[in-house]
Amino acid sequence: MDPPLFPPSHNGSSEWSPSSWKNVVAKQMPIYDDQEELEKAVKTLDRVAPLVFAGEVRSLHEKLARVAEGQGIVLMGGDCAESFKEFHVNHIRDTFRVILQMALVMTYGSSMPVVKIGRIAGQFAKPRSDPNEVVGGVSLPSYRGDIVNGEEFTSEARRNDPQRMVEAYYQSAQTLNILRAFSTGGYADISRLHAWNLDFVEGTEEGSRYRLLASKVDESLRFMKAIGVDTSKPEFTSVDFYTSHECLLLHYEQALTRQDSITGKWYDCSAHMLWVGERTRNLDGAHLEFTRGLCNPLGVKVSDKCSPEQLIQIIDKMNPHNIPGKLSIIVRMGAEKLRKHLPGMISAVQRERKTVVWISDPVHGNTRKTKSGYKTRDFDKIREELNAFFDVHDQMGSHPGGVHVEMTGEDVTECTGGVSDVTEDTLKHRYNTTCDPRLNGSQALELAFIIAERMRL
């Protein structure tokens, strides 16, 4: 297959520059009270090394272009928000391991390559529905993620501190270093897949289904070896793993946006892929202005609030040359609304001959608060939304391109249901998230089996 064409850089356009977003209104951006402090942090970031490189970004783009043609599926997953406090090599290892396990299940089920993308190494900034949080009659600015302010409910912690961007950068650099080592240093070797089993899937139904599948893969490997295939080649021992996060904090993103020395095009080197959230995707806003000039693959989150006409306008802005793999539409609206609204969106895209990757985010439209005050998500609702996504694509003859989930490799109790059987009463046991509730390792694996079953040829 011919490699996809890449767009002419916006570099030549007088309108776009890495700072042209400053001429338009930016929603959800923190206000810093000390401009000198902000300039100092930005200056530091202007000079740091890129976290990802243009060649890697192009390789992800090529893979996504294949997904856009129906030849593959995307798996995006990770924490809702990374935190400074939770940073640990084991935490990264566990998330990475579950993503690889999910990918294996999905590959086996669909017989298609799975493009693996972490919500990681930069997923720090959070949009907030309310700029303030009121507790016991005291109102303080909302927590906007560790890259902006602190979670603790004190006015000191909630102050927007630009130096946190520098700290987030260094944590992301360490995270990427770990991920690169895990991806290529033997940890991801397919023949070690039994060793990937997490203790807590032992004894669960998903755990035994996973082991059964793993033994089938083992059998296939033994067969390949017997007929002379060299299973020590990189295809068997390493994986391509990419990073992504919400493109929200534009001071940080601008500072990491660099011109590729080979092509002269602009890449945001904070992550391979960036997406714009549901709350900042307005056509006249700074987030679309900033992202339209980037050569990275992009995503945009859409709920039922986005009309088919608006969706087409967003696509025209983010992918004006209609390049396959450049833009993913990440749909998040709950099962019922999805059955009602997604068909209209797909027909508009088909009518206008746009090429996009459709990704389901089945978690963000299904968040609720329990009586005891925990933000949670029910596994059944997540499954319903995912099934609705597949049903609609079947109906419309379009390709269900993948899934985007908030998950962790750890045995947390943040979402209810699934075989791991977390209930409203047990949420308190290991509710560790600093933001939205995540699927735990076994719930994430269970989801992968659902996808695998739906994608079976």
Q: Which residues bind Mn ion (CB under 5 A)?
A: 80, 436
Distance CA 373, CA 96 (A): 30
CA–CA separation, 256 and 53 (whole Å): 11
Does the annotation list 364 as a binding residue? yes
Give 87-143 as a DSSP string: --HHHHHHHHHHHHHHHHHHHHHHTS-EEEEEE-SS------SSSEEEETTEEEEPP
| Residue 278 site contact among Mn ion, ligand PEP, none (CB < 5 to 8 Å, cut-off depends on kind) | ligand PEP
Q: Tell me whether residue 279 is annotated as binding.
A: yes
- How many residues touch ligand PEP (CB under 6 A)? 9
Token pair in block for residue 398: 């379009």
The smaller minimum CB distance to Mn ion, of residues 255 and 330, is found at 330
Query: Read out DSSP for 15-64?
Result: S--TTGGGGS--TTPPPPS-HHHHHHHHHHHHHSPPSS-HHHHHHHHHHH
Does 410 participate in binding ligand PEP (rule CB under 6 A)?
A: no
Confirm or reject binding of residue 245 to ligand PEP (CB under 6 A): no
Residue 62 in marked binding region = no
Binding mask 330-369 for ligand PEP (x = CB under 6 A): --x-------------------------------x-----
Q: Is 278 annotated as a binding residue?
A: yes
Confirm or reject binding of residue 278 to ligand PEP (CB under 6 A): yes
Cα→Cα distances 186→182, 270, 371, Å: 7, 26, 46
Minimum distance from CB of 448 to ligand PEP (Å)? 19
Out of 18, 277, 400, 409, the residue judged to bind ligand PEP by CB under 6 A: 277
List 76's β-bridge partners, or say none.
Answer: 117, 404
Q: Is 406 annotated as a binding residue?
A: yes
Maximal C-alpha separation, the chain: 72
Report the residue from 80, 121, 201, 445 that binds ligand PEP according to the rule CB under 6 A: 80
Query: 81 CB contacts (<8 Å, ≥6 apart)?
Result: 123, 124, 125, 126, 145, 146, 433, 434, 435, 436
| Residue 50 exposed, middle or buried by CB count within 10 Å (0-12, 13-18, 19+) | middle
As measured in angstroms, the least distance from the Cβ of 278 to ligand PEP is: 4
Q: Which is nearer to Mn ion, 66 or 287 (CB)?
A: 287
Q: Which residue has the tokens 């087409």?
A: 312
CA–CA–CA angle 273, 163, 300 (5° rounding): 25
For ligand PEP, the closer of residues 119 and 258 by Cβ is 119
Q: Which does 446 bind (CB under 5 to 8 A by kind): Mn ion, ligand PEP, none?
A: none
Cα–chain center distance at 71: 20
Sequence-separated (6 or more) residues with CB below 8 Å from residue 185: none
Q: How far is the CB of 281 from Mn ion (least distance, A)?
A: 15
Residue 414 near which of Mn ion, ligand PEP, none (CB within 5-8 Å, type-dependent): none
- Please identify, using beta-carbon distances, which residue of 292 and 332 lies nearer to ligand PEP: 332
* Closest approach of ligand PEP to the CB of residue 405, in Å: 10
Which of ligand PEP, Mn ion, none has residue 279 at its interface (CB below 5 to 8 Å by kind)?
Answer: ligand PEP
Judged by beta carbon, residue 161 or residue 278, the one nearer ligand PEP is: 278
315/386 with CB nearer Mn ion: 386
**132-135 and 327-331 strand pairing:** unpaired
Q: Is 351 annotated as a binding residue?
A: no
179 or 247: CB nearest ligand PEP: 247
Tokens (6 digits) for 353: 């001959």
* Annotated binding residue 27: no
**Among residue numbers 282 through 301, which ones bind ligand PEP (CB under 6 A)?**
301
273: burial class by Cβ within 10 Å (0-12, 13-18, 19+)?
buried
Residue placing its CB nearer to Mn ion in the complex, 127 or 417: 127
Report the partner that residue 79 touches, choosing among ligand PEP, Mn ion, none (CB closer than 5 to 8 A by kind): none
Stretch that binds ligand PEP, among 193-201, 252-260, 275-283, 320-328 (CB under 6 A): 275-283
DSSP 8-state code for residue 213: H
- Minimum CB–partner distance for residue 361 and ligand PEP (Å): 6
Task: Select the binding partner of residue 292 from ligand PEP, Mn ion, none (C-beta < 5 to 8 A, by kind).
Answer: none
Single out the residue of 310, 93, 75, 287 nearest to residue 180, CA to CA.
93
H-type alpha helices, 185-331: 205-226, 234-237, 250-255, 286-291, 308-318
Interface residues with ligand PEP (CB under 6 A) are 80, 127, 246, 277-279, 301, 332, 364
Please enumerate, by residue number, every residue annotated as part of a binding site for Mn(2+): 80, 364, 406, 436
